[in-house]
Each structure stands twice: as C-alpha cells, then as structure tokens.
C-alpha cells in the first residue's frame, strides 16, 4: 500500500521533537533550563522545515517560502535568546 508523501515528513518531525526533548532533558540534569528551551525551539524549527518539505512535494511554492521564513526567524530568535 502506497503511503502519502507527507507521512515520512511527519515521522521526521516527530523524531526531531523527540530527539530535542531527550537532549534537553539530559542537559537539564547537568546545567540549566536555557538549553532545554533552545532544543525545544530548534525542534519546532525542524517541524516547520518538515512542513515546508511537505508543501514542496506538492509544488506549493508560496507556502514553502512562508515556512522557510518562519523557520529562519525561529532559529534566529532561539540562538539570540540562548546567548
């Protein structure tokens, strides 16, 4: 049975969020809450990038640009917030 192309990107999105939470919780035990917040924001940016890939597979260029801009701004905000 053929799956929709968005399924693999959703799995990638869930893997990014799970990995970020895992690393954030590990770092939380050793350092502080700042790194946990950074990992969660980076995971959210990965989620937006995954959504952009879904729109790209459907040739929806406008939404790809919007999601790419949101991803860039979120990464920029999270790095500035961390430092």
pLDDT along the chain (83 residues), means of 10: 67 75 72 71 77 78 80 79 69
20 in any annotated domain: no
Would 8 be classed as within a structural domain? Answer: no
Domain count, the chain: 1
Domain of 47, in residue numbers: 33-83
Token output for 75: 């990464």
The reply to whether 56 falls in a domain is: yes
Domain membership of residue 11 (yes or no) is no
User: pTM for the full model?
Assistant: 0.55
Give the three-class secondary structure for 60. coil
**Would residue 14 count as lying in a domain?**
no
* Alpha-carbon gap, residue 31 to 77, rounded angstroms: 21
Closest CA to 46 of 11, 76, 17: 17
pLDDT at 2: 66
Start-to-end CA distance of the chain, whole Å, equals 48
């Amino acid at each position: 049975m053929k799956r929709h192309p968005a399924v693999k990107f959703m799995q990638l999105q869930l893997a990014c969020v799970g990995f970020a939470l895992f690393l954030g919780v590990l770092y939380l035990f050793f350092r502080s809450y700042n790194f946990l917040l950074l990992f969660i924001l980076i995971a959210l940016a990965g989620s937006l990038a995954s959504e952009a890939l879904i729109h790209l597979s459907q040739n929806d260029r406008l939404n790809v640009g919007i999601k790419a801009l949101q991803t860039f701004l979120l990464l920029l905000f999270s790095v500035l917030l961390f430092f």
